[in-house]
Amino acid sequence: MVSAIGQPISRVLLSDQVYARVRGLIVSGDLKPGERLVESEIARQLTVSQAPVREAVKRLVHEGLAQHVPRRGSFVATVSQDDAASARAVRVVIEELAARTLAERADPAALADLDAQVEAMREAAAEGDVGRFRDADITFHRIVCEAGGNPFLPKVWAVMEPSLRGLRVVSDPTFTGDWAEMAEQHAGLLDALRTADPQLAGEKFAAHARGEIPGA
């Protein structure tokens, strides 16, 4: 457990505040994969009762950032190489189809939303805010699935997103590459969508999902 989670927090929406604090530590890599989330210790450090901590941990488990093991407790999620490979294989298919359908529609509102996420990634990279970067990254890909017009794509993405969040957070906590460069890679994906060329967009997103673009 990280020795100092931070200063005591106010007693307004405690579970939300505890969730945000612990989630931030997981996303940033300060809490490592496999590390136990000791509810009593978190409560002690934040000077709150265990009830809001328990609710916060449940949210993290639902989001895919933590795993609960009966009679042992909750832990920061770990991802096996097999799980990562399986998730990536499914993601390739989903994102290629989503990009193709969105490129065909060329929805201006969706493209504007995606541009906002790219800007959020750029700002987060400049500020060194890894958690905000990753949130903008996964939101970018969710928008692509939601905006394509195929009603099944957002449903499939909603099922996958908890696992993808876990994969993205715990599989690269020590990433030492260029976050700004990664933001520009997403700008390139957006440019592919703007061409209104479904084949090009699909190929670009499939390559990104396969990890062929550095930092994917």
Is residue 16 scored above 90 in pLDDT? no
Looking at residue 168, what is its pLDDT?
67
Pair (147, 181) in one structural domain: yes
Pair (158, 105) in one structural domain: yes
**Rounded Cα gap, residues 95 and 206, in angstroms:** 6
Class of residue 207 by CB neighbours under 10 A (exposed 0-12, middle 13-18, buried 19+): middle
Pair (52, 136) in one structural domain: no
Pair (105, 69) in one structural domain: no
Which residues, other chains included, contact 186 with Cβ-Cβ below 8 Å and sequence gap of 6+? 117, 118, 121, 137, 140
Backbone angles phi, psi at 57, to 5 degrees: -65, -35
Tens digits of per-residue pLDDT, 54-108?
999 999 998 888 889 998 999 998 877 787 788 888 889 999 999 999 999 878 9
Looking at residue 5, what is its pLDDT?
66
Collapsed DSSP state (helix, strand, coil) of residue 75: strand
Looking at residue 215, what is its pLDDT?
42
Tens digits of per-residue pLDDT, 165-181?
767 655 555 565 688 99
Collapsed DSSP state (helix, strand, coil) of residue 139: helix
* pTM assigned to the model: 0.73
Which residues, other chains included, contact 208 with Cβ-Cβ below 8 Å and sequence gap of 6+? 95, 185, 189, 216
Pair (103, 149) in one structural domain: yes
What residue numbers bound the domain in which 48 lies? 14-76
